[in-house]
Chain A
Amino acid sequence: MKKISILLLLSLLLCGCFALRMTVNNVGNAIFSSPQEIANKIKNPVKDSVRLSALWIGHSSILLQIYDKVIILDPFFQEKLGGLVMREKEPGLDIESISKLDLILISHSHMDHLSFSSLDKIAEKFPGRDLIFPKGVEYYLPNVDLNLIRIDNSKSQSKEFIGNPVFSNGIKITPVFALHPGGRYAFDTYTWKIQGATGYMIEYEDVTVYFAGDTGYDSLAFKKIGGNFRINLAFIPIGPCHNCDSSGFWFHTSSIEALQLFEDLKADYMIPIHFGSIRYFSDPNYPLFAMKKILQNPASKYSHLADKIKILKEGEQVIWREEQN
């Protein structure tokens, strides 16, 4: 029986079931600790006379404002991921502080991007708002009091890399390529193979924002996307990565790949996301340290990007005013 247990455990690890390893690493924290509090949370994140603003809620969650439109990206306000993994820091914004919301975007169905209770809270405060998600996510989406809009991302997941847009409240949303699997419960990624991940290009008035969601790096795809859009701001995930100055881990961009992705996109600014809150297998801030090290190295081919990268803390907001056009 002992041999069987060992074999089963090894098989799980071999299956790339890092969700299991994550759980084992974090279960103690989930029971005995609580997330670090964020001091001085912004109480009025929706501002007047804003051309573009971004408030990093934490992990991949962002409150984005483009002129009068307010969009929330991958809202994740839960304390625990999957009930078992405690986040390191609490969300940098309270839903109650959001005074206006026009649109919710979900990039894929993984638990750190599609949070049921967060959607419930948003639906309670902003019932009937548009919720856009890629094809495949409907299998993992409970019925919530929001206007569900499934976007067809099959074209963007093909060699064309850019899909057909949809409009919501005058905001143009185009699905773009993301190298990431769908699924939610560890093995279903392998067994059901439901595709359901996308990046988004968000266009309103003269502003274009790219939200990667979660993605691995693909040179051809991101160069093409960069050639087709004039991007003002790009939200690009860094990590998780075992060795962040080389390749990423399982369909994720490492710090160095995220910088290359940013360069391919030719965007004005980048805000790194997908770090800091969830302990995958090492310090959740390791991808950020690695990125800073690359940027500070004068010999690095990415050092010239340093001024274009806005590193936010959880709860911090960056604002470009209308007169800053």
Chain B
Amino acid sequence: MKFFKKYFIVLFFLAFSGTLFSQDLKEDKTNMFINWGLLQLVPSPTFFQDSDDNNARIQFGLKWHITPINISFNPNKYVSPFQMFMINPVRRFTGSAEIFVQPELAVYSFKYSELSIFGISTGPRIILPIYEKGENLSFSIGGKYTYRKNFSGDRDYYYGVEAGLYFFGGLIGLQYTHNFNTRTKYNFNFYIKYF
């Protein structure tokens, strides 16, 4: 827990230290990439199911969101529909498809399902606008494939489906994943991603 406290504190101040009180609003790519990179380290709180045949519990953890590619369905004529990693929110929530990668880290071990605390999942999803062209409310649905080792060190893979609701430009939201794996059948997370 002490590690996470330090992590949050250092992360937040690093992310804004260069620009906190800046009045210089000229484009500065280096600064932009550093700030963006640090903001990507902000995790989304996640709850995993941890169960075996007789026991079940909710396990707290963290999840990060990486978007290697996003293709917008309806961008304006001045911008590209294709984006990588730094994803413009408007092109995303107005309707788009993307490939995502999600590293996951549980705070404590999965003692019932006997899975390792670290996992990584990837898959495709589409995002569709619901309200105010998706800026105030958008929806996503996708499929995912999760990789996680078990206690014996063997690889364990499972498929899942996920759905999400996003608010305020897709900056925050809620995601639910249903895995086709009886030991960790579902997880639920608050979605936080600064583009």
**A117 touching B79 in the complex, CB below 8 Å, given contacts A185-B168, A190-B16, A191-B36:** no
Tell me, rounded to whole Å, the shortest Cβ–Cβ distance linking A111 to chain B: 8
A95 at the interface (CB under 8 A from B): no
Q: Mark B12-43, 1 if CB is under 8 A from A, else 0.
A: 11001001111001111001100110010000
Q: How far apart sit A106 and B195, CA to CA, in the bound complex (Å)?
A: 24
**A11 touching B78 in the complex, CB below 8 Å, given contacts A187-B194, A190-B35:** no
Q: Identify the stretch in A133-141, A168-176, A239-247, A295-303 within 8 Å (CB) of chain B at 4 or more residues.
A: A133-141
Q: Mark B71-100, 1 if CB is under 8 A from A, else 0.
A: 000111111000000001110001000000
Q: Mark A169-206, 1 if CB is under 8 A from B, else 0.
A: 00000000000011011011111111100000000000
Q: Identify the stretch in B62-70, B127-135, B143-151, B176-184 within 8 Å (CB) of chain A at 4 or more residues.
A: B127-135
B171 at the interface (CB under 8 A from A): yes
Tell me, rounded to whole Å, the shortest Cβ–Cβ distance linking A182 to chain B: 8
Tell me, rounded to whole Å, the shortest Cβ–Cβ distance linking B89 to chain A: 6
Tell me, rounded to whole Å, the shortest Cβ–Cβ distance linking A250 to chain B: 10
With beta carbons under 8 angstroms apart, the residue of B32, B39, B168, B195 that contacts A193 is: B32
Tell me, rounded to whole Å, the shortest Cβ–Cβ distance linking B144 to chain A: 26
* Highest count of chain B CB atoms <10 Å: which of A16, A120, A138, A195: A138
Residues facing B in A64-85 (CB within 8 A) are 78, 82-84
**Cβ–Cβ contact B75 & A143, under 8 A:** yes
**Cβ–Cβ contact A148 & B76, under 8 A:** yes
**Cβ–Cβ contact A181 & B5, under 8 A:** no
With beta carbons under 8 angstroms apart, the residue of A82, A142, A185 that contacts B136 is: A82
**Cβ–Cβ contact A193 & B26, under 8 A:** yes
Residues facing A in B161-185 (CB within 8 A) are 167-169, 171
**Cβ–Cβ contact A143 & B76, under 8 A:** yes
**A138 touching B76 in the complex, CB below 8 Å, given contacts A11-B12, A193-B32:** yes
Q: How far apart sit A25 and B58, CA to CA, in the bound complex (Å)?
A: 35
A14 at the interface (CB under 8 A from B): yes
Chain B's interface size range is: 35 or more
Tell me, rounded to whole Å, the shortest Cβ–Cβ distance linking A171 to chain B: 21
A-B contact count (CB 8 A): 98
Q: How far apart sit A189 and B5, CA to CA, in the bound complex (Å)?
A: 27
**Cβ–Cβ contact A181 & B12, under 8 A:** no
Residues facing B in A148-180 (CB within 8 A) are 148, 150
With beta carbons under 8 angstroms apart, the residue of B16, B27, B77, B133 that contacts A120 is: B133
**A11 touching B90 in the complex, CB below 8 Å, given contacts A4-B9, A143-B76, A193-B26:** no
**A4 touching B77 in the complex, CB below 8 Å, given contacts A184-B169, A189-B25:** no
**Cβ–Cβ contact B20 & A141, under 8 A:** no
Residues in B with CB closer than 8 Å to A139 are 79, 88, 90
**Cβ–Cβ contact B13 & A11, under 8 A:** yes
Q: Which residue of B lies closest to A109 (CB)?
A: B90
Residues in A with CB closer than 8 Å to B89 are 184-185
A24 at the interface (CB under 8 A from B): no
**A8 touching B194 in the complex, CB below 8 Å, given contacts A120-B133, A150-B78:** no
**A192 touching B76 in the complex, CB below 8 Å, given contacts A83-B167, A117-B132, A142-B94:** no
**Cβ–Cβ contact A83 & B132, under 8 A:** yes
Residues in A with CB closer than 8 Å to B35 are 190-191
**Cβ–Cβ contact B136 & A83, under 8 A:** yes
**Cβ–Cβ contact B76 & A190, under 8 A:** no
**Cβ–Cβ contact B26 & A15, under 8 A:** no
Residues in B with CB closer than 8 Å to A184 are 89, 169
* Highest count of chain A CB atoms <10 Å: which of B8, B21, B25, B27: B25
Q: How far apart sit A314 and B81, CA to CA, in the bound complex (Å)?
A: 39
Tell me, rounded to whole Å, the shortest Cβ–Cβ distance linking A7 to chain B: 6
Residues in B with CB closer than 8 Å to A138 are 76, 78-79
Tell me, rounded to whole Å, the shortest Cβ–Cβ distance linking B86 to chain A: 9
**Cβ–Cβ contact B25 & A195, under 8 A:** yes
Residues in B with CB closer than 8 Å to A144 are 76
Tell me, rounded to whole Å, the shortest Cβ–Cβ distance linking A156 to chain B: 15
Residues in A with CB closer than 8 Å to B194 are 187, 191
Q: Which residue of B lies closest to A141 (CB)?
A: B76
Other A-B pairs, 12, CB within 8 Å; known A82-B136, A185-B169, A192-B32: A4-B5, A82-B168, A83-B136, A83-B137, A117-B133, A138-B78, A184-B89, A187-B16, A189-B25, A191-B36, A193-B25, A195-B26
Q: List 23 A-B contacts (CB under 8 A).
A: A4-B8, A8-B12, A11-B13, A15-B16, A16-B20, A82-B168, A83-B132, A84-B168, A116-B132, A116-B135, A120-B133, A138-B76, A139-B79, A141-B90, A142-B76, A181-B25, A185-B195, A187-B16, A190-B20, A190-B22, A190-B35, A191-B19, A195-B26
